[in-house]
Amino acid sequence: MTQAPAIPRATRRRHDREIVALAVPAFGALVAEPLFVMADSAIVGHLGTAQLAGLGVATALLTTAVSVFVFLAYATTAAVSRRVGAGDLPAALRQGMDGIWLALLIGAAVIAVVLPLAPGIVHLFGASATAAPYATTYLRISTLGIPAMLTVLAATGVLRGLQNTRTPLYVAVGGFVANAVLNALLVYPAGLGIAGSAWGTVIAQWGMAAVYLLVVVRGARRHKASLRPDLAGIRASAQAGVPLLVRTLSLRAILMIVTAMAARLGDADIAAHQIVLSLWSLLAFALDAIAIAGQAIIGRYLGASDARGAREACHRMVQWGIAAGVVLGVLVVAARPLFLPLFTGDSVVRDVALPALLMVALSEPICGIVFVLDGVLMGAGDGPYLAWAMVITLAVFTPVALLVPVMGGGLTALWAAMTLMMTVRLLTLWLRARSGKWIVTGASR
C-alpha cells in the first residue's frame, strides 16, 4: 500500500464504527441468502430422492447463473458511493436506477434463453433420468424469478452505496421467512410438489425486489432523480460491470477446477472436499462483509476527493481483515472436533478432511487481507485491474491444481494449491494498493 499514514486514535475509532455499522448487517444479509436453498432442500427432501436430486441440479444452475452477475451489486455500490461522497444524491440515485434497469434487461434475456432450453441444460449438467423432469420443472419456474434476483443485487448495491446495509438485512430475513412459509404451504397442503417449491421461491424473490424498488424509488422521487431508463447510463453501468464479470468468471473457474480435481482423488476425498469447501465458503461470508464495508466507505471518500481519508480507511480495514483472519483460523482449529462429525460419521472422510481444514485455518489471515483489498479496489472502481489480476491468478493456479492428482497428491495438497491461489491474489492486490494508482478522486472515475 501507499506509505502508511499515521492515524490518530479518534480517526481509527471513527473508521471502526463505520466498518462495524456496515459490515455486521452485511454479514447477516450474506448468511441469509444460502438459507433460501437450505429451506427448499429441507422441504423438498421429504418428497423423495429424485425430487431432491432434481432440486440440487436446478439450484446449482440458478446459483451459478445469478453469481455471474454479482457485478450488478459491486459496480453499483462503487458508482453510487462516489456520488454520495461528492454530495450529489440525485446523481447517486440516478446511477442506482441505471443499475436496476440493467438488471431487469439482463433478467429478461436470461428468461428468453433458459425457458426453451431448460431440458437440454439439465441434460448437459448430468441429471439422471429420474431427476431430470423435476430439475426441468424447478428450473423453468424459478427462471421467472431471475429478473427479481438480479434486481435485488442491483438495489442492494444502491443501498450499500448510500451507506445503508441494514435494509438489505431486513429484506433478506423477511424474504427467507416468506420463502420457507410459501414452500411449506405450496409443496404439501396445495399439493404442487417441487413446482410449489419453485413458485414459493419466485414469489418471495419478487416480493424482495418490490420492497427494494419501493425504497429506491421513494429516495429517487424525494431527491427528484429520474426513474426513466437512460441508455447512456445503462451502457455505462454495463461497461463498469464487464471487468468485474471477467473477475467473477475467473474465480468460478478456479472453484470448478478444484472440485473437479478433488473428484479425481476418490470418493473419500471429494466428500471431504465438500465439507472443507462449505466451511471455506462460510468463512468467506464473514470476510466479505468487511469487503462490502470497504466498497461503500472507499467510494464515499474518493467521491469526496479525500485521498488521505481513503488511504486511512484502507489501512484500517486491512488491519481488520488480518485480525478477522487470525480469529477465524483459530476458530477452525479449535472447532474441528465438533465440526467434522456434523457432516460425516465416516472416519476415513474425517481423516482426509482434517489436514485440509488445518490448511484452511493457516490461510485465513491471507484471505482476510485479500477480501479487504478486493473490496477497497472495487469501491475505487478499479475493475480492469481486478479482472487482469484474477486472470493471472487463474493462469498460475490451473497447472498447479492439475498436477496434484498426477503427482499423487491428496486433498491437503489440493488445498495447498488453493492457499497458493490466495497468496497470488494477495500479491497482485497488495502491489496495486501500494502503488496508489487506485486513488482516483471525484464523482466518477
Task: Name, in order, each residue with C-beta under 8 angstroms of 138's C-beta and a sequence gap of 6 or more.
Answer: 54, 55, 58, 59, 194, 195, 197, 198
Report pLDDT for 97: 95
Encode pLDDT of 101-120 as tens digits.
Answer: 999 999 999 999 999 999 99
Encode pLDDT of 342-387 as tens digits.
Answer: 776 778 888 888 999 999 999 999 999 999 999 999 999 999 999 9
Report pLDDT for 3: 52
Report pLDDT for 6: 65
pLDDT of residue 255 exceeding 70: yes
Report pLDDT for 375: 95
In this prediction, residues 403-429 reach a mean pLDDT of 94
The torsion of the CA quartet 48, 49, 53, 55, rounded to 10 degrees, works out to 20
pLDDT of residue 421 exceeding 60: yes
pLDDT of residue 195 exceeding 70: yes
pLDDT of residue 174 exceeding 70: yes
Q: Return the sign of the alpha-carbon dihedral for residues 302, 304, 308, 312.
A: negative
CA distances from 333 to 272, 287, 330 (A): 16, 18, 5
CA distances from 154 to 70, 75, 201 (A): 8, 9, 19
Encode pLDDT of 261-271 as tens digits.
Answer: 888 888 788 88
Report pLDDT for 282: 83
Q: Return the sign of the alpha-carbon dihedral for residues 247, 253, 257, 263.
A: positive
Encode pLDDT of 325-343 as tens digits.
Answer: 999 999 999 988 887 787 7
Please state, in angstroms and rounded to a whole number, the distance separating the CA atoms of residues 316 and 154.
27
Give the residue, 412 or 66, on which the prediction is more confident: 412
From the list 319, 283, 371, the residue with the least C-alpha distance to 74 is: 371
Report pLDDT for 41: 76
Task: Tell me the H-state helices in 86-193.
Answer: 89-124, 132-143, 146-161, 166-187
From the list 142, 127, 172, the residue with the least C-alpha distance to 62 is: 142
Output the average pLDDT for the chain. 90
Please state, in angstroms and rounded to a whole number, the distance separating the CA atoms of residues 101 and 95.
10
pLDDT of residue 245 exceeding 90: yes
Task: Name, in order, each residue with C-beta under 8 angstroms of 327's C-beta and a sequence gap of 6 or more.
Answer: none
Task: Name, in order, each residue with C-beta under 8 angstroms of 231's C-beta and a sequence gap of 6 or more.
Answer: none
Please state, in angstroms and rounded to a whole number, the distance separating the CA atoms of residues 301 and 280.
31
End-to-end CA distance of the chain: 20
Quick check: 52 and 193 in contact, CB under 8 A? no
Report pLDDT for 317: 94
Report pLDDT for 336: 81
Report pLDDT for 55: 84
User: What's the pTM?
Assistant: 0.89
Q: Per-residue confidence at 7, pLDDT binned at 50, 70, 90?
A: confident
Listed as own residue / partner, the contacts of 343-348 with beta carbons closer than 8 Å and 24 or more positions apart are 343/275, 343/278, 344/271, 344/275, 346/268, 346/271, 348/268
What's at 279, amino acid-wise? L
Query: Where does residue 8 rank: exposed (0-12), middle (13-18), buried (19+ CB within 10 A)?
Result: exposed
pLDDT of residue 415 exceeding 70: yes
Reported as type and span, the H/E element at residue 428 is helix 411-435
In this prediction, residues 221-250 reach a mean pLDDT of 92
Question: What count of other Cβ atoms lies within 10 Å of the Cβ of residue 305?
Answer: 13
Report helix angle 71-85 to 347-379, nearest 10: 40
Report pLDDT for 32: 73
Report pLDDT for 1: 52
Report pLDDT for 341: 81
pLDDT of residue 2 exceeding 60: no
Quick check: 165 and 25 in contact, CB under 8 A? yes
Encode pLDDT of 26-51 as tens digits.
Answer: 988 887 777 777 777 778 877 888 88
Please state, in angstroms and rounded to a whole number, the distance separating the CA atoms of residues 197 and 36.
11
Determine the Cα angle at 264 with ends 397 and 415, to 5°.
40
In this prediction, residues 2-7 reach a mean pLDDT of 57
Report pLDDT for 129: 85
From the list 348, 331, 325, 365, the residue with the least C-alpha distance to 270 is: 348
Please state, in angstroms and rounded to a whole number, the distance separating the CA atoms of residues 282 and 286.
7
Query: Where does residue 430 rank: exposed (0-12), middle (13-18), buried (19+ CB within 10 A)?
Result: middle
Encode pLDDT of 136-158 as tens digits.
Answer: 999 999 999 999 999 999 999 99
The alpha carbons of the chain give a radius of gyration, in whole angstroms, of 22
Encode pLDDT of 282-315 as tens digits.
Answer: 889 889 999 999 999 999 999 999 999 999 999 9
Task: Name, in order, each residue with C-beta under 8 angstroms of 233's C-beta and a sequence gap of 6 or more.
Answer: 94, 95, 97, 98, 101
From the list 145, 147, 105, 121, the residue with the least C-alpha distance to 54 is: 121
Q: Per-residue confidence at 440, pLDDT binned at 50, 70, 90?
A: very high
Grid cell 446459483 in the structure block, residue: 63
Report pLDDT for 138: 93
Q: Would residue 217 be called left, alpha or beta, if left means φ above 0 and alpha means ψ between -120 and 50 degrees? A: alpha
Q: How far is CA 112 from the centre of its chain?
A: 25
